Amino acid sequence: MLALCFSAGAAENEQKLLGDESDGSRAHPIHRLELFAEPGEQDAEPVKIDPSINTEEEVLLPFSARRTCGRCHSYGIIDKGWHFNAVDPNAASGRPGQPWIYVDAKTGTQIPLSYRSWPGTFKPARFGLSDPAFTKIFGRQTPGGGAGETDDEVEVMQQYVSGKLEINCLSCHNADPRQDQGSPSGYAVQISRGNFRWATAASSGLATVTGSANDMDEMYDPFDPFSVESAQSGKNKPPTITYHKNVFDHDNSVFFNIVREVPSHRCYFCHSDLYIGEDGAEKWSEDEDIHLKSGMTCVDCHRHGIDHNIIRGYPGEEDVSDNELTATSSCEGCHLGEHSASKPTAGRLSAPVPEHRGIPAVHFERLTCTACHSGPWPADEPHFTKTSMAHRLGTPNVNKASEMLPHIASPVFAKQADGKIAPHKLIWPAFWGVLRGDSITPIELGTVEKVIGEILSKEDFPFSGDWPELTDDHIVKGLSALASGGSAEGKVVYVAGGRLYSLNDSNKLSEQKDHPAAKPYLWPIGHDVRPAGQALGIRYCTDCHGTRAPFFFGDVNVDTPVVAAREAKKMIEFQDISPFYTWAFASSFVFRPWMKIVLICSCALISLVLLLYALKALGCVIKALAGED
């Protein structure tokens, strides 16, 4: 009987909801929905939103995407998707991707953080960032979920006030032009104010949210009308939602313009890149990805089902992803076809099958497609690059200066794990840490802010957001101060620009160049894809095989706040190739046209000799047949 109950329960759990499976219609789905909010008590029924309630008796709550959308779409399946599963230790990390970069010029810090196990990144907790603290800083350019939804066992009451940052389905799927991710009252700002519970509603275009959960003390109860009313009369206002009444139907339903296929501009809020070149950085002067310009959208390639297991689109992803379209959705998958597929897959979505005329096949063994086709055209020095995630592009009060930290350089052509050279974005980590064996653990942010912040407090910090100019003296003071605090079991070090600074036994500064723990963090570039006519090698081999070609011999600046350590490395140092060989090989291209001429002339001469003697032989045969000899 008990077993029967359990199996019935399991069957119920696995039951698909209305929107979990499509009936096959490609028509635009209509979403006229009642709104539901998170209840004040766990396990209670969701609260239906009625904008006309008496706010003296009840609190007008923000609607929750989990409670509203989750009525028809299984939230428990969706939250396993790529955009939400970073905190899940069992989720495959796949190829290294863009980290979250914590930057603080005042402490000389620029550190790549990630919940995923990408070598070179640090877990936020190791840096002293709790999940809610991380969410408050970086949640602005996430669609919620992940770290925003974990239970904070330390600051339980503060999390009760802020709520959890549930998955905001509307971040991607709301086609309404009022969807507000980045305005002064939009999603990003609400998260920075700690209004996690209100962020989805504030971004939806259906309501306005004022106040800040950050300003509320731990005793504030956002579900208690009396508490809310009391707080509203104070100096610091609590988070308060006001629904635009014209959006509600007669039965308090709301129309959402929900689309299955997410518009590309929604992706752009978190995935924009800005390459700062000699001509500045105006978007109008740059071409968009060729796929988008030819009419495609991001989700034409980056697809997923209800599990939101989105295709990242790199070769080899099929080994770690359950998405069955992974193999056919990479560059090769669409343009060349997937050879093991049971049906032809090349040319999907009108993808032209590339001919690559005159390109020796060895290039396809040594280079990724993106090496020639993606990112900006390589310059003598990689471009300063800004990204939405790193520089919070699209949110209020962004520092638009070119030098604004973090300093990301791209394209850097480097060898990746599969042995192929690919264009990457690169940052040089800079942080205070503790060396134990060969590994470094960053010192907690709070300690660094307190100790180093005080030491550097009298320095000049550029308005541009660039590094301050640190000297050996600053580093010695910083290391000494951190070591005297007894903050760590191990050697206190400072990592910057690929160097590891520490104090030796006589308290003198020693530095170790190219320490493995101080290596730069690189992640591959996928976009923007340039058309064939603008791919590397389109003009001549010397686009790359020139003795000064940026592909091999570009200068990658070693970015560091330590003035004396600022230098440049050649691109080839990231490619695991002999610089002399590459230079000699490139030099041979000077003589390549002559070699072709010599070979062709020699072949012509040989052909003439062969023709001459063949004709002579033919003459002999003719004579013999004619009986002359």
Partner 1 sequence: MKSKQKQSIIVILRMLAYLLALVSFVVLALTGFYPVLILGEHISGYLVMLHVTFAPVLTVCVAVLAVLWASNCRFTAGDWPWFERIVQRITSVKSVDKTAKSKNSGLGQKITFWLIIFLTLPLALSIVISMFHLFGTHWQELLLGFHRYIAYIFTVVVIVHTFLLIRATAIK
Q: Which residues bind partner 1 (CB under 8 A)?
A: 354-362, 364-365, 578, 581, 584-585, 588, 592, 595-596, 598-603, 605-607, 609-610, 612-613, 616-617, 624-625, 627, 629
> Considering beta carbons, is residue 184 or 347 the nearer one to partner 1?
347
Taking the complex as a whole, how short is the minimal distance between the CB of residue 414 and partner 1, in angstroms? Answer: 19
Taking the complex as a whole, how short is the minimal distance between the CB of residue 598 and partner 1, in angstroms? Answer: 5
Beta partners for residue 435, in sequence order: 440, 491
Tell how strand 240-243 and strand 109-113 pair up. unpaired
CB 79 within 8 A of CB 303: no
Residue 232, classified by CB atoms within 10 Å of its CB into exposed (0-12), middle (13-18) or buried (19+), is middle
Q: Could you report how far apart the first and last alpha carbons of the chain are, in Å?
A: 112
> Considering beta carbons, is residue 157 or 599 the nearer one to partner 1?
599
Sheet of strand 383-387: strand arrangement: 273-276, 383-387, 408-415, 421-427, 521-524
Taking the complex as a whole, how short is the minimal distance between the CB of residue 377 and partner 1, in angstroms? Answer: 20
Residue 365, classified by CB atoms within 10 Å of its CB into exposed (0-12), middle (13-18) or buried (19+), is exposed
Taking the complex as a whole, how short is the minimal distance between the CB of residue 530 and partner 1, in angstroms? Answer: 18
CB 518 within 8 A of CB 451: no
Beta partners for residue 33, in sequence order: 254
Does the bond joining 89 to the residue before it have cis omega, within 30 degrees of 0? no
Task: Residue 371: name the closest of 547, 552, 520 by CA.
Answer: 552
Taking the complex as a whole, how short is the minimal distance between the CB of residue 83 and partner 1, in angstroms? Answer: 36
Which uninterrupted H or E stretch holds 510?
A: strand 509-513
* Per-residue tokens: 132: 């809610």
CB 110 within 8 A of CB 427: yes
* Per-residue tokens: 509: 């500064």
Taking the complex as a whole, how short is the minimal distance between the CB of residue 605 and partner 1, in angstroms? Answer: 4
DSSP 511: E
> Considering beta carbons, is residue 157 or 621 the nearer one to partner 1?
621
Amino acid at 511: E
* Per-residue tokens: 499: 């160097």
Taking the complex as a whole, how short is the minimal distance between the CB of residue 624 and partner 1, in angstroms? Answer: 6
Euclidean distance between CA atoms 96 and 27, whole angstroms: 37
Euclidean distance between CA atoms 295 and 122, whole angstroms: 39
Euclidean distance between CA atoms 612 and 614, whole angstroms: 5
> Considering beta carbons, is residue 401 or 608 the nearer one to partner 1?
608
> Considering beta carbons, is residue 365 or 505 the nearer one to partner 1?
365
> Considering beta carbons, is residue 230 or 588 the nearer one to partner 1?
588
Taking the complex as a whole, how short is the minimal distance between the CB of residue 525 and partner 1, in angstroms? Answer: 23
Taking the complex as a whole, how short is the minimal distance between the CB of residue 578 and partner 1, in angstroms? Answer: 8
**Number of residues that make up the chain:** 629
Query: How many CB atoms are located within 10 Å of the residue 332 CB?
Result: 19
> Considering beta carbons, is residue 349 or 606 the nearer one to partner 1?
606
Taking the complex as a whole, how short is the minimal distance between the CB of residue 570 and partner 1, in angstroms? Answer: 19
Euclidean distance between CA atoms 122 and 127, whole angstroms: 7
> Considering beta carbons, is residue 8 or 597 the nearer one to partner 1?
597
φ/ψ region of 2 (left if φ > 0, alpha if ψ in -120 to 50, else beta) reads alpha
> Considering beta carbons, is residue 156 or 598 the nearer one to partner 1?
598
> Considering beta carbons, is residue 8 or 624 the nearer one to partner 1?
624
Beta partners for residue 102, in sequence order: 111
Which uninterrupted H or E stretch holds 160?
A: helix 156-162
CB 517 within 8 A of CB 361: no
> Considering beta carbons, is residue 563 or 603 the nearer one to partner 1?
603
* Per-residue tokens: 309: 């297991």
Euclidean distance between CA atoms 490 and 436, whole angstroms: 5
CB 484 within 8 A of CB 472: no
Residue 600, classified by CB atoms within 10 Å of its CB into exposed (0-12), middle (13-18) or buried (19+), is exposed
Taking the complex as a whole, how short is the minimal distance between the CB of residue 538 and partner 1, in angstroms? Answer: 10
Residues 6+ apart with CB under 8 A from 385: 273, 274, 275, 276, 408, 409, 410, 425
Taking the complex as a whole, how short is the minimal distance between the CB of residue 609 and partner 1, in angstroms? Answer: 4
Query: How many CB atoms are located within 10 Å of the residue 451 CB?
Result: 21
Taking the complex as a whole, how short is the minimal distance between the CB of residue 407 and partner 1, in angstroms? Answer: 35
Taking the complex as a whole, how short is the minimal distance between the CB of residue 375 and partner 1, in angstroms? Answer: 23
> Considering beta carbons, is residue 568 or 610 the nearer one to partner 1?
610
Taking the complex as a whole, how short is the minimal distance between the CB of residue 606 and partner 1, in angstroms? Answer: 5
Taking the complex as a whole, how short is the minimal distance between the CB of residue 361 and partner 1, in angstroms? Answer: 5
> Considering beta carbons, is residue 22 or 587 the nearer one to partner 1?
587
For residue 81, CA distances in Å to 88, 119, 171, 310, 519 come to 10, 22, 15, 7, 30
